[in-house]
């Protein structure tokens, strides 16, 4: 009897500890039996949404009804695709609560199948990511404002630089041979400084767009990339007498080539023509 009481006490302590951990980490557990069309939430899934826990199972239609209209089609498609593929899924969506909508991340996987290999049970968790998503959205808005500000400032600053450059060109054309050697040199310095400032302003504008103005990822034929680079470097290689050879013949060689390329990006700061001239054979 004493052992049973002790085991029961330890079990209750473990359950209490697990419940506190759930509350602290903001996650709830769910079970889904697709063939019976039953979804069972634990108490934390309900409390996450400000709802009273219920022992009545939900249906898939009930789950869809709780989603934000903008998330409904995407999430329903993701769930059905997961059932077909049998892969673990991670979906972010908004649940309707008594105070509006709240961002939740759903994670789950198939844990039981029938004799025909059809899924009979899925288990997963709901993670409360509302604060994280709000922070991400605020960061996105801030980045958009920064880009708009950078564009406006760059436009306002580049206009006077263009004017300075234009008048320096007119001054050079007007005076022509009357300009002394020193005067021509000073005008050259002024134009070079204006062009450098213009490049710096463009650099600031491009920096403000980092991570936003990018193309979607896609497969690339490395052979085509190498051929394009060799064609671009052709005149320079002919001038310097240098040669470049491609030796990418397999996955391991490709990995080595990419690592070497990354190393060059970190260490090579010289202009291309200077670099090639220092790499002549022998």
Which run of H or of E encompasses 180? none
pLDDT tens string 232-269: 666 667 667 777 666 555 555 555 555 555 555 444 44
User: What number of H helices and E strands is found in the chain?
Assistant: 9, 5
Q: Starting at the edge strand that comes first in sequence, how are the strands of the sheet with 27-33 ordered? A: 38-41, 27-33, 119-128, 100-113, 89-97
pLDDT band (50, 70, 90) for residue 175: confident
pLDDT, position 121: 92
pLDDT tens string 192-235: 888 888 888 888 777 766 655 555 667 777 777 777 777 666 66
pLDDT tens string 48-61: 888 888 888 999 99
Identify whether the C-beta of residue 96 lies closer than 8 Å to the C-beta of residue 79: no
Q: Is the pTM of this model over 0.85?
A: no
What gap in Å lies between CA 15 and CA 5, rounded to an integer? 15
- Residues for the chain: how many in total? 282
Q: Angle CA(155)–CA(160)–CA(166) in degrees, nearest 5?
A: 120
pLDDT, position 70: 95
Residue carrying structure tokens 């050879």: 245
């Amino acid at each position: 009897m004493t052992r049973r009481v002790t085991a029961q006490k330890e079990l209750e302590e473990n359950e209490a500890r697990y419940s506190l951990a759930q509350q602290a980490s903001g996650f709830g557990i769910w079970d889904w039996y697709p063939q019976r069309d039953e979804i069972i939430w634990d108490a934390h899934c309900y409390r996450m949404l400000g709802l009273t826990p219920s022992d009545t199972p939900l249906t898939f239609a009930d789950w869809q009804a709780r989603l934000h209209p903008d998330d409904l089609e995407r999430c329903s498609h993701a769930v059905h695709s997961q059932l077909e593929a049998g892969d673990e899924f991670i979906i972010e969506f908004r649940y309707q609560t008594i105070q509006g909508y709240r961002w939740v991340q759903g994670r789950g996987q198939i844990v039981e199948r029938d004799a025909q290999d059809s899924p009979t049970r899925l288990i997963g968790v709901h993670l409360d990511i509302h604060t994280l998503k709000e922070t991400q959205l605020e960061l996105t808005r801030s980045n958009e404002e920064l880009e708009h500000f950078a564009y406006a400032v760059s436009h306002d600053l580049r206009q006077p630089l263009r004017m300075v450059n234009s008048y320096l060109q007119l001054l050079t054309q007007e005076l022509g041979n009357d300009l002394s050697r020193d005067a021509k040199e000073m005008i050259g310095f002024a134009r070079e400084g204006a062009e450098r400032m213009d490049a710096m302003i463009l650099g600031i504008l491009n920096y403000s767009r980092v991570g936003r103005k990018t193309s979607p990822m896609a497969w690339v034929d490395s052979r085509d990339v190498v051929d394009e680079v060799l064609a671009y470097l052709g005149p320079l290689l002919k001038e310097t007498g240098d040669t470049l050879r491609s030796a990418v013949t397999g996955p391991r060689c490709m990995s080595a080539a990419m690592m070497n390329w990354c190393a060059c990006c970190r260490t090579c700061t010289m202009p291309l023509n200077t670099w090639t001239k220092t790499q002549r054979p022998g």
